[in-house]
Chains A and B, each alone.
Chain A
Amino acid sequence: MVSADQSSFSAPPNPSLLTGRNWIERRLVSYITNHTPTCRDVVRLLSQSMEVKLPITTRIKLRFHFLICIWCQRYERQLWALRKIASSVSERVADIYPETLSDRSKEQLKQSLRGTEP
């Protein structure tokens, strides 16, 4: 995407952003590009939004950005999916770590516990 200090309606340097769009769409895309955060900033802000509520102006800018960027939209959905995956981890711990304490470790542990008075 382009930086904010570039003039309005200048073509975004990422050529694929404008592929297949008509003249009006190209102008609209360029305008939104110039007035919303870059994708690199958007992904950082999306992660931050999972920790703290972002200012309303930032949230509006993100919504506008999503109008032109399917990749950031997907990224947001996938971050929340990742959170859901992580929250399921505790239930699936035996699938993630099938390891158990070895018999030897268990025996040593029992011996040590025998020597510990309550």
Chain B
Amino acid sequence: MPQESSNHVNPENWVDAYGDRLYRYALLRVRHHEVAEDLVQETLFAAVRACAKFRGSSSEQSWLYGILKNKIFDYFRKLAQEVCFTDLEFLEDEMSHKFIDQGWNHELGPAQWKPGPEAALNRKEFWKTFRSCLNKLPARVADVFVLREIEQLDTAQICETLGISQNNLWVMLHRARMALRECLELNWFEGKLKLGPKTNG
């Protein structure tokens, strides 16, 4: 394990000690290898410049994660200035077949998940499916979902970072959840048991 103290900081050691973990942390949030790599590099440079200020009150690792987290927010702020985050057309038509006159088409409605989600959490293959489902979402919709559900920012923080309204955020989250639920159901919770309308699920 690397040293927790800043007394003998050697930035080169950070690359071996924390590089991969920081990289995955960034990759999970930005989902682009090059961007994640750039963010790790920026983080380590910023850490070198700021290491005099590091007093060792937190671990070196959490200090670096803190810097990376800020870099990731900066990345999203910049991205929001360059691209439109309010992709409100998404799924409007794709999901319409699931409803008949605004009610579920019962052949296509939510199936019972067997085995339940708790069992899935410990399966490596499940997480591959999760990644592939997340990657199928339109990029901006996935970004919003990641910031809300994985980074666990609150509504106000996301709206401020991305410069979108609360209503737009809710619509995008709704669509992300709907599509992810559907994708996980089709690709993981395959043991579909369609129940009649009177049966409790």
Contact = CB atoms under 8 A, between A and B. Distances in A.
Contacts, number: 179
Given A89-B130, A118-B49, A70 B102 contact: no
B51 A96 contact: no
A41 B116 CA distance: 26
Contacts of B178: 43, 47
Chain A interface category by residue count = 35 or more
B155 interface: yes
A99 B23 contact: yes
Contact of B152 (A38, A87, A109): A87
B149 A109 contact: no
A40 B102 contact: yes
Q: Which of B99, B101, B180, B196 is packed against the most chain A CB atoms within 10 Å? A: B101
User: How would you classify the secondary structure of chain A's contact residues: helix, strand, loop or mixed?
Assistant: helix
Which 6 A-B residue pairings sit nearest by Cβ, starting from the closest?
A38-B102, A86-B149, A1-B103, A71-B109, A47-B174, A95-B127
Interface of A: 1-3, 12-14, 16-17, 19-21, 33, 38-41, 43-44, 47-48, 50-52, 68-75, 78-79, 81-90, 92-97, 99-101, 105-106, 109-110, 112-114, 116-118
Given A101-B19, A112-B45, 12 more contacts: A14-B104, A21-B197, A21-B198, A33-B103, A43-B178, A74-B201, A85-B130, A95-B127, A95-B128, A99-B23, A100-B24, A106-B15
27 contacts: A14-B101, A14-B103, A14-B104, A14-B105, A17-B103, A19-B196, A20-B198, A40-B99, A43-B178, A48-B170, A51-B173, A71-B109, A75-B110, A82-B181, A97-B131, A99-B23, A100-B24, A101-B15, A101-B37, A105-B37, A109-B41, A109-B44, A110-B12, A110-B15, A113-B15, A114-B12, A117-B48
